[in-house]
């Protein structure tokens, strides 16, 4: 399959450049096949840059004599931006004009069509190929992103799969159980590799957001719906989630596979990883690390593999009975806040929203906030993705 990168127009922010100062901007167009060396197939064209965004100036700004200081457009990478929460957040951020969104998606065509039908303005986004079910693809994405010359100001680890009815595991290209492989390990490698890029950004508030969920938190009613998340002593993760005769496909090492539990376990890993990033990097880098529960977006593609009756009833159940329902558009605004809202710079926080859609710092469950478990998940994950 061809790896592709396609700016929706040719105007994207360049690393170290200031859109405020530049009337014209250069952008890269990279189209490479998996086998082609990366040095091939880079073409450069010139296009008119979007106007600078006027915001209170604090770094990453330019000023011309007599003019107000301007903040350059931020660049945010969002994984899984081809549908649901990721698409809605991409749209919300691009609509502000303050953000250029890199949509990191496994299905290039689907993502391009989704952006267009969501009404995202040409020039406000770039679609790039990323398949989190392959660590090679993650590494290639990072190389391709760097080749665009864009800075990285925010990264959102949003993509996920949920296999609620699966009783046998499927595996990533690297032979790891798919739910944890995509939702956690692919993102873990991506975020670790892109830390250097976030560190070198001059944007005033750089952020790494990892989407979590209520269903991984057993301090809530939703988190107590069986099967419950439970990472146990991590023996399955330590064994590589290979599901072979000698190893389990479940993090806790259990012999039988449960797709719903694997998803919830992966969300616990997401929330633990955010906190471990915070402990290891916040003080040194000033980067904000955050997670969130965006609300129950019962209409998204996440439930595509659930039984039809569930898909038919679940939105009404959430809307009228639990009242936890949130529209895709509303959830997108919530995620966009965590990326961009000047007031949400606190690091290490798991954000949630109340009924009036006001954000608050939520409490994670005992397991999802266990620092020792977070450290172990981090160290085992490093081994599995080839960083240790
Ligand atoms: C399991 O599916 C999978 O089998 C398992 O593999 C695993 O994946 C697991 O956690 C994941 O899920 C279970 C799932 C599928 O069933 C449910 O748990 C049902 C949840 C949603 C069903 C909602 C039913 C209620 C519908 C009401 C909607 C009307 C709203 C209008 C009301 C207006 C009022 C003003 O199973 C199914 O899909 C079959 C669903 C059959 C439904 C049977 C009813 C179940 C009882 C639901 C209890 C709800 C309790 C809440 C409290 C209610 C208070 C009134
Ligand atoms: P969707 O299924 O609509 O979106 C998931 C996205 O992830 C899609 O773009 C999908 O791509 C992408 N994706 C799946 N596998 C891969 C892969 N291997 N590589 C790259 N991208 C991949 O679900 P949601 O929008 O609901 O989910 C988004 C996030 O929100 C998830 O992290 C989920 O856990 C979280 N969440 C969702 C809730 C909800 O109620 N829906 C509640 C709480 C949290 P494609 O379009 O190609 O399938
Ligand atoms: Mg849940 C306040 C109650 C509440 C909330 C906010 C959610 C969110 N759910 C709640 C309650 C219940 N759910 C109850 C009482 C039941 C039993 C009938 C129930 C069932 C249920 C199922 C079967 N709920 C589910 C499922 C799923 O398959 C979804 C899931 O676990 O996906 C992993 C799900 C969800 N409920 C939620 C949310 C946000 C989800 C899905 C999204 C996610 O965690 O990513």
Q: What's 280's domain CATH number? A: 3.40.50.720
Q: What spacing in Å lies between the alpha carbon of 83 and ligand 2's midpoint? A: 7
Atom of ligand 2 nearest to the CA of 131: 19
ipTM rounded to 2 decimals: 0.88
Do the beta carbons of residue 83 and residue 301 sit within 8 Å?
A: yes
Which of 214, 292, 368 should be mutated for ligand 3, with most atoms under 8 A from CB? 214
Q: What spacing in Å lies between the alpha carbon of 300 and ligand 2's midpoint? A: 8
Domain membership of residue 59 (yes or no) is no
How far, in Å, CA of 51 to CA of 316, rounded? 43
Domain membership of residue 232 (yes or no) is yes
How far, in Å, CA of 275 to CA of 350, rounded? 9
How far, in Å, CA of 200 to CA of 85, rounded? 28
Query: How high is the pLDDT of residue 62?
Result: 61
Query: How high is the pLDDT of residue 41?
Result: 28
Domain that holds residue 266: 74-385
How far, in Å, CA of 199 to CA of 381, rounded? 22
Given a cut of 70, the residues of the chain with pLDDT beneath it are: 1-59, 61-68
Which residue is closest in CA terms to ligand 2's atom 37? 297
Query: How high is the pLDDT of residue 265?
Result: 98
Domain membership of residue 36 (yes or no) is no
Order of strands, sheet of 99-105, starting from the edge strand that comes earlier in the sequence? 42-48, 24-32, 3-7, 125-129, 99-105, 74-79, 154-157, 207-211, 288-292, 349-353, 359-361
Domain membership of residue 133 (yes or no) is yes
Domain membership of residue 169 (yes or no) is yes
Residue 138 gets the label, from left (phi > 0), alpha (psi -120 to 50) or beta, of: alpha
Query: How high is the pLDDT of residue 273?
Result: 98
pLDDT in tens, 86-122: 999 999 999 999 999 999 999 999 999 999 999 999 9
* Bridge partners of residue 288, in order along the sequence: 207
Domain membership of residue 341 (yes or no) is yes
Work out how many domains the chain is built from and give that number: 1
Atom of ligand 2 nearest to the CA of 158: 32
Which residue is closest in CA terms to ligand 1's atom 51? 321
Query: How high is the pLDDT of residue 67?
Result: 60
State whether residue 266 is helix, strand or coil: helix
């Amino acid at each position: 399959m061809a790896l592709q990168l396609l700016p929706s127009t040719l105007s994207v922010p360049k690393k170290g450049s200031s859109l405020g100062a530049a009337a014209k901007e250069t952008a890269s167009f990279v189209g490479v096949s998996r086998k082609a060396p990366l040095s091939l197939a880079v073409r450069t064209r010139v296009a008119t840059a979007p106007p600078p965004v006027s915001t209170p100036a604090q770094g990453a700004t330019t000023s011309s004599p007599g003019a107000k200081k301007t903040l350059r457009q931020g660049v945010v990478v969002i994984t899984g931006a081809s549908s649901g929460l990721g698409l809605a957040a991409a749209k919300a951020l691009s609509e502000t004009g303050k953000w250029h969104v890199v949509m990191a998606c496994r299905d290039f065509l689907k993502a391009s069509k989704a952006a267009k039908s969501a009404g995202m303005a040409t020039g406000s986004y770039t679609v790039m190929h990323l398949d989190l079910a392959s660590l090679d693809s993650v590494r290639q994405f990072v190389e391709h992103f760097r080749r665009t010359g864009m800075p990285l100001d925010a990264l959102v680890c949003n993509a996920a799969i949920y296999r609620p009815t699966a009783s046998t595991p499927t595996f990533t290209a690297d032979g790891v159980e798919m739910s944890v492989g995509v939702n956690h390990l692919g993102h873990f490698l991506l975020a670790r590799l892109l830390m250097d890029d976030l560190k070198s950004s001059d944007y005033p508030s750089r952020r790494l957001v990892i989407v979590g969920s209520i269903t991984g938190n057993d301090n809530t009613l939703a988190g107590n719906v069986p099967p419950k998340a439970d990472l146990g002593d991590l023996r399955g993760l330590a064994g590589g989630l290979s599901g072979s005769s000698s190893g389990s496909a479940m993090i806790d090492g259990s012999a039988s596979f449960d797709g719903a539990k694997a998803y919830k376990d992966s969300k616990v890993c997401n929330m633990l990883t955010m906190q471990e990033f915070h402990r290891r990097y916040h003080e040194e880098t000033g980067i904000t690390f955050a997670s969130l529960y965006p609300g129950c977006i019962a209409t998204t593609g996440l439930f595509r593999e659930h039984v039809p009756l569930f898909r038919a009833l679940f939105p009404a159940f959430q809307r009228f009975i639990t009242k936890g329902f949130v529209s895709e558009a509303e959830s997108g605004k919530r995620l966009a806040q965590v990326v961009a809202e000047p007031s949400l710079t606190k690091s290490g926080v798991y954000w949630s929203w109340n009924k009036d859609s006001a954000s608050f710092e939520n409490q994670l469950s005992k397991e999802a906030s266990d620092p020792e478990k977070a450290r172990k998940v981090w160290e085992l994950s490093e081994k599995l993705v080839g960083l240790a």
